Amino acid sequence: MRKIIKIDQQLCNGCGDCITACAEGAIELHEGKARVVSDSFCDGLGACLAICPQGALRIEEREASPFDEVAARVHKSLAQNNGQMDQAGGADTGGTDTVGVDRDAVDTNGANRGAVGTAVRTSSSLSPCMLPISFRRDQMPQADFSREKIKPGQDLANELCGWPIQMRLARPWAPYLKGARLLVAGDCTAFAYPAIQQEFIKGRAVLVGCPKLDETEPFVEKLAEIIRQNEIQDIAVLHMTVPCCSQLARLVKKAVQQSGKEVPVMSYVVGIDGRLVEG
């Protein structure tokens, strides 16, 4: 008997927020609903509970396989790798394939006891927008200026180093976050500040959100987990002068404090006229 996550299928709307909140990768989308892949992947701590906008998640106590940290790590790694293959066109899993796992390779200390079985599901059932992708600069698509009214200009290179950038979709274990310098930006800054690519995005992993529209508690918890799991060098916060966006710096500092790490935070403010006000 142990505590484990239970998902109410009637309440679940398939938004996928719980998937991004689960550091173990224990939850996947199947036929438009979130489901626990395997009891042995779920630690039962409930980090995903506060994320669900539908209130579809709760903790129940029942007979379940013991949490297997090694198996969960292998599953998460396979999900990450296969997700990148799907994005690159290297595999067509169709959302139902399984990936074979060497039982001996997983059960390194005898603790697994067959909980993984002979196969582990991939994350191919995830929406593409949720799969972490790292970009190589020499493989980035070039801007298309074929339309008559669009003319070439300066500093038009896409400097993003990873995807997704939306805080609600970002996964703490995404490879582009390892050892990164972060830019945490308000949603509107990309439209207001013309030089954002060269002056802020270049050389940084980007995470965006809106203190007005996003739930602040899950935002802080997600960022704190990202900081805990990765050796983040520093964080630049870019927000608008408007009051609703100005809370972003406070949320980032709260996340750093909650993470228990010491990470320098620098704050920059953009006016609605597109000029950098501070920083």
Average model confidence (pLDDT) for the chain? 77
User: Rounded to whole angstroms, how far apart are CA atoms 96 and 116?
Assistant: 17
196 and 264 share one domain: yes
The 3-state DSSP class for residue 175 equals helix
**Segments forming the whole domain that contains residue 252:** 133-146+153-278
What are the tens digits of pLDDT across the range 118-132? 333 334 444 444 555
Tell me whether the omega of the peptide bond preceding residue 211 falls within 30 degrees of 0, making it cis. no
Residue 154: band (very low, low, confident or very high) from pLDDT cuts 50, 70, 90: very low
User: Rounded to whole angstroms, how far apart are CA atoms 229 and 213?
Assistant: 26
The segment with the largest mean pLDDT, out of 104-113, 118-127, 150-159, is 150-159
53 and 69 share one domain: yes
120 and 141 share one domain: no
What pLDDT sits at residue 47?
Answer: 76
Looking at the predicted structure, is the pLDDT value of residue 156 above 70?
A: no
Please name every residue paired with 120 in a beta bridge, in sequence order, or none if there are none: 99
Looking at the predicted structure, is the pLDDT value of residue 109 above 70?
A: no
The tokens describing 194, both together, are 């013309």
Count of structural domains, the chain: 2
Which CATH number fits the domain that encloses residue 224?
Answer: 3.40.50
Which residue has tokens 């396979």? Answer: 78
The tokens describing 67, both together, are 């949490």
Residue 57: band (very low, low, confident or very high) from pLDDT cuts 50, 70, 90: very high
Closest to 37 measured CA to CA, from 95, 105, 107: 95
Which CATH number fits the domain that encloses residue 49?
Answer: 3.30.70.20
Whole-structure pTM value: 0.53
Closest to 132 measured CA to CA, from 277, 255, 20, 29: 20
Residues 6+ apart with CB under 8 A from 152: 143, 145
Looking at the predicted structure, is the pLDDT value of residue 247 above 50?
A: yes
What are the tens digits of pLDDT across the range 163-214? 889 998 888 888 899 999 999 999 999 999 999 999 999 999 999 999 888 8
Residues 6+ apart with CB under 8 A from 237: 184, 185, 248, 249, 252, 265, 266, 267, 268
